[in-house]
Structure 1
Amino acid sequence: MKLFIIATLVLLIYIALDIVFNSNMWEANTTLTLYLQQHQFHGEKEMFLVFSYSLYVLPSIAGIAFLILDNKLGALLYGGMILFSVASNSLLKNIYHQARPFFIVEEIEPYECNKEFGKPSGHAMTSSAMCFLLPSIMFPAIWTDQPNCKYPLYLRLLVIFIITFWTFMTGFARVFMGVHSFAQIILGWVYQGYVSIIYMQYLHDRIANYLKECLQVGQQGVSIKAINVIGLIVFCWTCISILFLELNNNIFITTSEANLWMKAVYEKCENQSTLYSINSPSVLQNICFSMCLYIWFMLSFVFGIKLSKGIYLENQFSQNFKLISFWKKTQRIVVLIVLVALLIPFYVIKFETVYAQAFGQVSHSIIQVVPVSILGGLFITVVYQKLLNYLKISVSGDFLQIITNQSSASDGQSVEMQAIKS
Structure 2
Amino acid sequence: MKLFIIATIALFLYIAIDLIFNQEMWDANTSLTLYLQQNQFPGEKDMFLVFSYSLFLLPSIAGIAFLVLDNKLGALLYGLMILFSAASNSFLKNLYHQARPYFIVQEIEPYECNKEFGKPSGHAMSSSAMCFLLPCILFPAIWKDQPNYKYPLYIRVIFIFIITFWTFMTGFSRVFMGVHSFGQIILGWVYQAYISIIYMMYIHDRIMTYLTECLQMGHKGISIRVIQIIGLIAFSWTCVAIIFLELNRYVFISPAEATLWMTAVYEKCENQTTLYTIDSPLVLQNICFSMSLYIWIMLSFVIGIKLSKGIYLENQFRYHYKSLSLWQKTLRIFILIILVALLIPFFLIEFNSVYAQAFGQIVPVSILGGLIITVVYSKILYYLKISVPGDFLQIIDNEQSAPDGMSFELQAKSS
**Fold match, TM over 0.5?**
yes
Q: 2:383 aligns with which of 371, 390, 413?
A: 390
2:207 corresponding residue in structure 1: 207
Task: For residues 325-377 of structure 1, give each alpha carbon's deviation from its aligned partner in whole angstroms, at most 9, with x where no partner exists.
Answer: 001001100110000000011111111000000002xxxxxxx1001100000
Aligned pairs (5 A) from 1:219-298: 219-298=219-298
The amino acid of 2:46's aligned partner reads E
Partner-residue secondary structure (3-state), 2:109 = coil
1:358 corresponding residue in structure 2: 358
2:30 corresponding residue in structure 1: 30
Aligned pairs (5 A) from 1:95-114: 95-114=95-114
Partner-residue secondary structure (3-state), 2:146 = coil
The amino acid of 2:367's aligned partner reads I
2:218 corresponding residue in structure 1: 218
Unaligned segments of structure 2, at least 5 residues: none
2:194 corresponding residue in structure 1: 194
1:337 corresponding residue in structure 2: 337
1:58 corresponding residue in structure 2: 58
1:365 corresponding residue in structure 2: none
1:79/1:323 CA distance change after superposition, 3 Å: same
1:332/1:407 CA distance change after superposition, 3 Å: closer
Q: CA deviation at 1:414?
A: 3.7
Structure 2: distance between partners of 1:327 and 1:214 = 32
Structure 1: distance between partners of 2:225 and 2:159 = 39
Kindly indicate whether the alpha-carbon contact (under 8 Å) linking 2:398 and 2:409 is maintained by their aligned counterparts in 1. Answer: no
Structure 2: distance between partners of 1:320 and 1:230 = 34
Structure 1: distance between partners of 2:31 and 2:190 = 23
Partner-residue secondary structure (3-state), 1:323 = coil
Q: 1:381 aligns with which of 333, 350, 374?
A: 374
Q: CA deviation at 1:60?
A: 1.1
1:333/1:227 CA distance change after superposition, 3 Å: same
Aligned pairs (5 A) from 1:160-171: 160-171=160-171
Structure 1: distance between partners of 2:63 and 2:348 = 23
1:318/1:187 CA distance change after superposition, 3 Å: same
The amino acid of 1:236's aligned partner reads S
2:396 corresponding residue in structure 1: 403
Partner-residue secondary structure (3-state), 2:59 = helix
Q: Identity over aligned residues, as a percent?
A: 76
Unaligned segments of structure 1, at least 5 residues: 361-367
1:328/1:261 CA distance change after superposition, 3 Å: same
The amino acid of 2:242's aligned partner reads I
- Tell me which stretches of 4 or more aligned residues in structure 1 moved more than 4 Å: 406-413, 415-418
Kindly indicate whether the alpha-carbon contact (under 8 Å) linking 2:294 and 2:366 is maintained by their aligned counterparts in 1. Answer: yes
Kindly indicate whether the alpha-carbon contact (under 8 Å) linking 2:389 and 2:403 is maintained by their aligned counterparts in 1. Answer: no
**TM-score, normalised via structure 1 length:** 0.95
Cα RMSD after superposing both structures: 1.6
The amino acid of 2:370's aligned partner reads G
Aligned pairs (5 A) from 1:103-182: 103-182=103-182
Kindly indicate whether the alpha-carbon contact (under 8 Å) linking 2:120 and 2:185 is maintained by their aligned counterparts in 1. Answer: yes
The amino acid of 2:311's aligned partner reads I
Q: CA deviation at 1:417?
A: 13
**TM-score, normalised via structure 2 length:** 0.97
